[in-house]
Chain A
Amino acid sequence: MAQTLKGADVVIIGLGAAGGIACLPLAEAGLEVVGLEAGTWLTRRDFAPDEIRNNVRDWPQAVQKANHEVPTHRANASAPTTRAASHPMMNGVGGTTLHYWAQSWRLNPWDFKVVSETTRRYGRARIPAESTVEDWPFGYEELEPYYDKVEWETGVSGKAGNLKGELDLRGNVFEGPRQREYPMPPLRGTGFTDLMAAAARGLGWRPFPGPAQINSRTFQDRSPCMYHGYCNRGGCHVDAKNGTNVTTIPRAQKTGRFRVVTRAHVTTIDVDARGRVSGVRYVTDGQEFVQPARVVLLGAYVYENVRLLLLSKSKAFPDGLSNNHGQVGRHYLSHATGASVTALFPFDLNTWYGLPAQGVAVDDWADDNFDHAGLDFIGGGNLWIYSDRRPIQAANMNTFGRAPGWGAQWKAFIRQSADRANTAYLQKTTLPYEANYLDLDPEVRDPLGFPVLRITADYRDNERRIAAFIQDKMEAWYRAAGAIDIVRGPLGTMGPNTHAYGGTRMGDNPETNVVDRWGFSHEVPNLGILGGSVMGTSGAHNPTLTLQALAWRTADHLVRSWKSIAE
């Protein structure tokens, strides 16, 4: 028998990057908030610099939920379905901000206006016909105050490149105008990233240190970064990574109005006779609980957001909650981060230490920062070079055709070359398409017996052309810095991704969007949705700062409009 608990003003499902932000403005405004989190608290003692545990075995120290419900994938409706063995999203208080890279980017103003800006500059015909892309319901300026808030409340290190319209070459001159500097200077450079920056300037490009949600100096009484090299899928042993677990969540708890419930695995969102959300059901150790709430905010990451909606069927919503327009699961995209470029240098790079957020970026070929008139695609990519290498990873390096993969020759190669290769991280614009979507898998179920999500998605020409273009640029950059050999990786498939978008897209038109411009359901007024599932475009930069800014904005709106939303 389900046990019904005392009601709350707001229930947040999932305390990750997004849910972990929304709790703070709500609790500070005086609302009683309950956060239901499938994982547990993890602390610095759980964050050993241990490649086997963190990278090879995928965090056995944490609750295993994401790994037990990995979505299936097929390229299109008639392609075979496959399923990956694991998915690296985290289940814990703080969510994936516990072990993510913490690159903390704003989107480019162009990303909010892909349709209108492309049409204005190149003509409507340049938008791929099968794409369902729309302009966001607002522009960059609307989100700027919230970007600023998250940067200052959590702590982001970086260098402004556009301070109220004043450009500064030491920062990103392509970014939208910001109202003030970052709260901390950028993470320091390394010998290798400095070398790469100089090579980029030599090409006439404008390199700059990337923004990181990591302390470059003491901030809010927490330590600066130690650059120890285990940040990539590792937690921070000195709490210098500003995940929601050490920033907004503890502060919300201090108000006395935010209750964190761990090991609470939400299975359904309930609705009342009027079609409004009445609360949620969750399971802890086989016991079912009902947590009534006047407002529910769903922030369980893209795949689980969509799955929970599709699983929450009722009389009012026979095809899943908020899905009477058939838009849940549509306009799905995942960031094209494949098509890697790896370079071999004739000297040691000394990148054994550092972190994936300690690096140098080039945005000259991102978004619409360059003229596309003579090109056959729109959008572009961010080039990112960083200092990060762990021993098992190093021993698995590409041998550039210079040695076999094992044996005495391999050993001779690795002894010389383990510290001589570097792989760039290349994030590229990805568009939503009519035939790319999420639904429930008809066969595969999770350990509780619920269907897992199914991804039907494939890249199109626009993504493939960007990939080839960006690989050319990256190769030129490496060669300018002295690389003697280059290998290129394939673009890959659109299987489960750590940068997923859409499925509950935000927009004014309820025929094509699930949530309104504030993040609340068009169909269910007291249901808000947090995370990348509301984003309709990817841009060429990681999503988290943007979805955190959106989460703060949604929470602010809820506070301002409490009466009309909750009553």
Chain B
Amino acid sequence: MISRRDLLKVAGAAAAGAATAGAERAALPAGAAPAAHPESLHEQSSPRRPLEALTADEADLLTAIVARLIPSDPSGPGAVEAGAVTYIDRSLAGPLSSSREAYRRGLAALERYATLSRGQPFRELSPTDQDSLLIDVETGGATASGAGFDGSSAAFFAMLKAHTWQGTFGDPYYGGNQGFVGWAMLGYPGVRTAVTPDDQRLGARPVPLRRSAYDTDLFNKA
């Protein structure tokens, strides 16, 4: 497992990266779609720590997908910066290993579906086309395409979305929510072991605490 120091390093890097990205994008007109060039995505996710379950191609595709699910935009970083892919990769090597095969088949099917339906690999599509393709997958519309989804494409999407949310909003201990970007997005004031009556008033804004449950030595590690 990753050491605490590694985690801080990664978190620091992600936060710094997010700040730069944010500054750059602040120049975009409001509501403009964020840049999703394959190059820039590649830059954000590298240097990547060694993958534990996914192949590099799968991780790249997954990165492009989660970038659309919770995009980075002028309001702040998204699932890529949170490390949702790292979370999924690590989980697939451990507690979610029974889903490894579903990812292999699902990602391959999604990529085939991109070529079949839009004439290009997913990562080369425009953000709008990527979104419209993902809607096909989400609604089950991609199921009967011959792309090879196991059962309904909607089931694959639901799994991927659930894991992306876990990797964006869960405890950073599991590799996601790096730099606490997920908790900041929600306005979650963080893990506390004691909460005062004042903290629970309407209108109260408890100072955000940014730490993992396992940063204290109170608990056995998961």
Q: Once bound together, how far apart are the Cα atoms of A48 and B171, in whole Å?
A: 11
Write out the residue numbers on chain A whose beta carbons fall within 8 Å of the beta carbon of B189. 352-353
Q: Once bound together, how far apart are the Cα atoms of A515 and B173, in whole Å?
A: 49
The answer to whether B186 and A414 have CB atoms under 8 Å apart is yes
The answer to whether A350 and B195 have CB atoms under 8 Å apart is no
- Which B-chain residue is minimally distant from A229 (CB atoms)? B195
CB-contact partner of A52 in B71, B170, B191, under 8 A: B170
Write out the residue numbers on chain B whose beta carbons fall within 8 Å of the beta carbon of A408. 33-34, 71, 73
Q: Which of A53-61, A62-70, A493-501 contacts B (4 or more CB under 8 A)?
A: A53-61
Q: Is B150 in the interface zone, CB < 8 Å from A?
A: no
Q: Once bound together, how far apart are the Cα atoms of A342 and B203, in whole Å?
A: 21
Give the total number of A-B pairs whose CB atoms are below 8 A apart: 146
The answer to whether A188 and B197 have CB atoms under 8 Å apart is yes
Q: Is A233 in the interface zone, CB < 8 Å from B?
A: no
CB-contact partner of B218 in A45, A61, A192, A352, under 8 A: A45
- Using an 8 Å CB-CB cutoff, how does the interface string of B181-222 with A read, 1 for contact, 0 for none? 011011111011111010111111010000001100011101
Q: Is B113 in the interface zone, CB < 8 Å from A?
A: no
Q: Once bound together, how far apart are the Cα atoms of A193 and B78, in whole Å?
A: 33
Interface size on B, residues (CB 8 A): 49
The answer to whether A350 and B188 have CB atoms under 8 Å apart is no
The answer to whether A411 and B95 have CB atoms under 8 Å apart is no
Write out the residue numbers on chain B whose beta carbons fall within 8 Å of the beta carbon of A414. 185-186
The answer to whether B204 and A50 have CB atoms under 8 Å apart is no
Interface centre among A350, A391, A395 (most CB of B within 10 A): A391
The answer to whether A49 and B165 have CB atoms under 8 Å apart is no
The answer to whether A352 and B78 have CB atoms under 8 Å apart is no
The answer to whether B220 and A350 have CB atoms under 8 Å apart is no
The answer to whether A61 and B170 have CB atoms under 8 Å apart is no
Write out the residue numbers on chain A whose beta carbons fall within 8 Å of the beta carbon of B222. 48, 50, 52-53, 60-61
Q: Once bound together, how far apart are the Cα atoms of A96 and B167, in whole Å?
A: 28
CB distance from A237 to the nearest CB of B (A): 6
CB distance from A118 to the nearest CB of B (A): 41
Chain B stretch 72-128: residues in CB contact (< 8 A) with chain A: 73, 75-76, 78, 95
Q: Is A400 in the interface zone, CB < 8 Å from B?
A: no
Write out the residue numbers on chain A whose beta carbons fall within 8 Å of the beta carbon of B173. 50, 52
- Which A-chain residue is minimally distant from B182 (CB atoms)? A391
Q: Is A406 in the interface zone, CB < 8 Å from B?
A: yes
Q: Is A258 in the interface zone, CB < 8 Å from B?
A: no
Write out the residue numbers on chain B whose beta carbons fall within 8 Å of the beta carbon of A51. 170-171
The answer to whether B170 and A391 have CB atoms under 8 Å apart is yes
Q: Once bound together, how far apart are the Cα atoms of A418 and B161, in whole Å?
A: 17
Q: Once bound together, how far apart are the Cα atoms of A226 and B34, in whole Å?
A: 42
Write out the residue numbers on chain B whose beta carbons fall within 8 Å of the beta carbon of A174. none
CB-contact partner of A48 in B75, B199, B219, under 8 A: B219
Q: Once bound together, how far apart are the Cα atoms of A408 and B75, in whole Å?
A: 10
The answer to whether A412 and B75 have CB atoms under 8 Å apart is yes
Write out the residue numbers on chain B whose beta carbons fall within 8 Å of the beta carbon of A415. 75-76, 185-187
CB-contact partner of B169 in A192, A353, A395, under 8 A: A395
Chain A stretch 379-418: residues in CB contact (< 8 A) with chain B: 387, 391-392, 394-396, 405-408, 410-412, 414-415, 418
Q: Is B62 in the interface zone, CB < 8 Å from A?
A: no
Write out the residue numbers on chain A whose beta carbons fall within 8 Å of the beta carbon of B194. 226-228
The answer to whether A56 and B166 have CB atoms under 8 Å apart is yes
Q: Once bound together, how far apart are the Cα atoms of A349 and B183, in whole Å?
A: 17
Write out the residue numbers on chain A whose beta carbons fall within 8 Å of the beta carbon of B202. 191-192, 195, 347-350
Q: Once bound together, how far apart are the Cα atoms of A415 and B169, in whole Å?
A: 13
Write out the residue numbers on chain B whose beta carbons fall within 8 Å of the beta carbon of A304. none
Q: Is A112 in the interface zone, CB < 8 Å from B?
A: no
The answer to whether A405 and B161 have CB atoms under 8 Å apart is yes
The answer to whether B161 and A406 have CB atoms under 8 Å apart is yes
Q: Once bound together, how far apart are the Cα atoms of A44 and B161, in whole Å?
A: 32
The answer to whether A392 and B165 have CB atoms under 8 Å apart is yes
Q: Once bound together, how far apart are the Cα atoms of A414 and B183, in whole Å?
A: 11
Q: Is B153 in the interface zone, CB < 8 Å from A?
A: no
Q: Once bound together, how far apart are the Cα atoms of A51 and B212, in whole Å?
A: 11
The answer to whether B200 and A350 have CB atoms under 8 Å apart is yes
CB distance from A223 to the nearest CB of B (A): 10
The answer to whether B73 and A411 have CB atoms under 8 Å apart is yes
4 additional A-B residue pairs with CB within 8 Å, beyond A45-B220, A52-B166, A411-B71: A228-B192, A352-B188, A394-B186, A396-B165
Would you mind naming 15 contact pairs between A and B with Cβ atoms under 8 Å apart?
A44-B218, A47-B219, A48-B220, A52-B166, A53-B222, A227-B194, A353-B192, A353-B200, A387-B200, A394-B169, A411-B73, A415-B76, A415-B187, A418-B186, A418-B187
Query: What 3 A-B pairs have minimum CB-CB distances, sorted nearest first?
Result: A191-B202, A48-B219, A190-B200
